[in-house]
Amino acid sequence: MKILGISCGRKMSNTEILVKEALMGAEELGAEVEFVRLQDLKLKPCTGCNACVVSLMEKGGTGDCIIRDDDFKFIDEKIMDCDGIIVGSPIYEKTPSGQLKILNDRMGPSHDVAMRMIAKKIREQKNITTGNGPDERSFKTRAASLIAVGGSEWDNLALPMLHLFTLSMQMEVVDKMLVNWVALPGMVALKDDELARARKSGRHVAHSLMKPIEEAEYIGEEGICPLCHSKLLEVRNGDSNYPIICGICGVKGTLSVVDNKVKFEVKEEDKAHSHIRLSGKFVHCDELKNVSLKPAPNVHELPQRLEKYKTYLTPSRPIS
């Protein structure tokens, strides 16, 4: 049982302390633990080239990112090799660090379990024996804990965006933890309750991996969404049937207020469309194949239409 801790914060500051405390808890239950500081790595942003999607959905390939000259392969190998993961980030302007978003973008379609399943099926159907298909480690279940650390209550998007990191690889989020009012470096080491909570979180990740992942319990704050426990909801008044959508898992439903408490109600048949379920991801893959990746009937006009944008304005750049 290998559990990886990823800190998106500064060296020996609050996030790192809590992630390490959680790893100590996991180690108490016999887990092999490893720690990575994201700031130590050089990660280039995703360019949106779609090479990973084409590799998986059309060629039955690996889905590997074509950007080679950075440290993505290093962190990718660590994530693929682990069974559980603890991800912590400081909160900058209500969200996790930009480095985590870069990593999230690089792992999005390329590591999506549904897309890798489709790639594997393509290889079987077409009897492709040359080259490599998706890494078999893609299909093992993983448990995850998320830790967000802030200096105030400007935290609305922190845990939701941390949760996004787990979506593509179908990780089972078994805990979410928000720690606020620790703006000064290292101050969380003086907060015994928060340290104990982090250690409990790490132990719970390890404990969840000792049984079938379907039996894993979520121990964080319940939130509003009955599926992903998010508190982030979007109102879509134009849809009379589904005016509310979860900002994380995308499940649709309705809101009501019962005894001064907001309740997000989702029909049983609609739960299958949640983005944290494979069924919902396969729907997304079908939409990509039949809409986004399908050439337009007038695609032959594209080169001519692009001409006016090629010569319009030269990008401003710093003088070297």
pLDDT in tens, 157-182: 999 999 999 999 999 999 999 999 99
Beta strands in 79-194 (DSSP E): 84-90, 143-149, 172-179
Task: Please report, for residues 52, 77, 154, the alpha-carbon distance to residue 111 in angstroms, rounded to integers and kept in the order given.
Answer: 9, 12, 31
Query: How far apart (Å, rounded) are the C-alpha atoms in residues 174 and 228?
Result: 10
Q: Is CATH 3.40.50.920 what the domain over 2-221 is classified as, yes or no?
A: no
Note the pLDDT tens digit of each residue in 258-306. 889 999 999 999 999 999 999 999 999 998 888 888 888 999 999 999 9
Q: Where does CATH 3.40.50.360 sit in the chain?
A: 2-221
Query: How far apart (Å, rounded) are the C-alpha atoms in residues 212 and 221?
Result: 22
Q: Which residue do the tokens 């979520």 mark?
A: 218
Rounded mean pLDDT, 15-34:
98
- State the helix-helix crossing angle for 14-28 and 192-208, rounded to 10 degrees: 50
pLDDT at 295: 87
pLDDT at 240: 79
Q: Is the pLDDT of residue 67 over 90?
A: yes
Provide the greatest CA pair distance for the chain: 65
Q: Single out the residue of 18, 65, 88, 266 nearest to residue 168, CA to CA.
A: 65
Q: Residue 240: count other Cβ atoms within 10 Å of its Cβ.
A: 8
Q: Is the pLDDT of residue 195 over 90?
A: yes
In sequence order, the 6+-apart residues with CB closer than 8 A to the CB of 117 are 139, 278
Query: How far apart (Å, rounded) are the C-alpha atoms in residues 204 and 49?
Result: 38
Confidence of residue 47 (pLDDT cuts 50, 70, 90): very high
Buried b (16+ CB within 10 A) or exposed e, 205-225: bbbbbeeebeebebbbeebbb
pLDDT at 238: 83
pTM above 0.85, yes or no: yes
pLDDT at 289: 84
For residue 277, the one-letter residue type is: R
Q: Single out the residue of 94, 117, 229, 223 nearest to residue 166, CA to CA.
A: 229
How many CA atoms lie less than 13 Å away from 290 in the CB half-sphere? 6
Buried b (16+ CB within 10 A) or exposed e, 67-99: beebebeebbebbbebbbbbbbbbbeeebbbeb
Residue count (the chain): 320
pLDDT at 200: 98
Q: Is the pLDDT of residue 70 over 90?
A: yes
For all residues of the chain together, what is the average pLDDT?
94
Q: Is the pLDDT of residue 92 over 90?
A: yes
